Amino acid sequence: MHVNREGMRELDAPDSVEVTDSFDVAFINHGEALHVHLNTSERLSQVVTVDAGNRHVPGHGERRVRVTVDTDALSGESVFGTLEVSTSYGAETNRVDVEVQDPATAQNTVEVAETLAEPPEDARSPLDRSELAVLALGAIALALAGLTALVVDDTLVVAGLGVVLVGVLAAVVLVVR
């Protein structure tokens, strides 16, 4: 959580968190030193303990407060509650919704849809491909360079035609790959 980032005694906290075990609340102070106070809702206090609810956070420093989760008190169900964070004797207060999940029943996997196991169908037609646009521009550049070489009839212009030809051939090789 950030304090004093956008103003005096300002708190910037997430709206909600999900945990399965004990965690630290990190206070990062962007201004003058102050005290922060942590308090839990009645339901949340049945499964968590805050290590020293009133903490001094040094100016332009950081302080971590340990929140210990009693996983034995969860009995297979999630517990929902709020963690109240305040500064300046409650003048600035934020509430963070906390869900404490039993680690034994918490789902640690991600479900993947069966359609992701199949390679995607390339619905684009060859005419939609951006590579064709590059090849068309290369052909136009080659035609203009050839026309210029015929009209001007200079060795330097013919050398330029060769450079354009090498560039277009390199583009064709990259597109075909």
The model's pLDDT over 100-114, given as tens digits with 9 standing for 90+, comes to: 988 877 666 667 777
Given a cut of 90, is residue 77 above it in pLDDT?
Answer: no
Give the mean model confidence (pLDDT) for residues 88-92.
82
pLDDT band for 124, please (50, 70, 90 cuts): low
pLDDT band for 138, please (50, 70, 90 cuts): confident
Tracing tokens 């304090």 back to the chain, one arrives at 3
Given a cut of 60, is residue 125 above it in pLDDT?
Answer: no
Residue 62 is predicted with a pLDDT of 93
The answer to whether the CB of 36 falls within 8 A of the CB of 71 is: no
Per the structure block, which two tokens stand in for 53?
A: 């609810």
Of 29-33, 106-110, 151-155, 160-164, give the lowest mean pLDDT range. 106-110
User: 2-100 maps to which CATH number?
Assistant: 2.60.40.10
Of 56-65, 90-99, 140-149, give the lowest mean pLDDT range. 140-149
Longest dimension (CA), the chain: 91
pLDDT band for 130, please (50, 70, 90 cuts): confident
Phi then psi dihedrals of residue 14, to 5 deg: -70, 155
Given a cut of 90, is residue 135 above it in pLDDT?
Answer: no
Give the mean model confidence (pLDDT) for residues 81-91.
88
The answer to whether the CB of 84 falls within 8 A of the CB of 110 is: no
Q: What share of the chain in percent tops pLDDT 70?
A: 89
Q: 47 exposed, middle or buried (CB, 10 Å; 0-12, 13-18, 19+)?
A: buried
Residue 6 is predicted with a pLDDT of 85
Residue 55 is predicted with a pLDDT of 86
* Stated pTM of the model: 0.57
Give the mean model confidence (pLDDT) for residues 121-136.
65
Instruction: Tell me what the pLDDT averaged over the chain comes to.
Output: 84
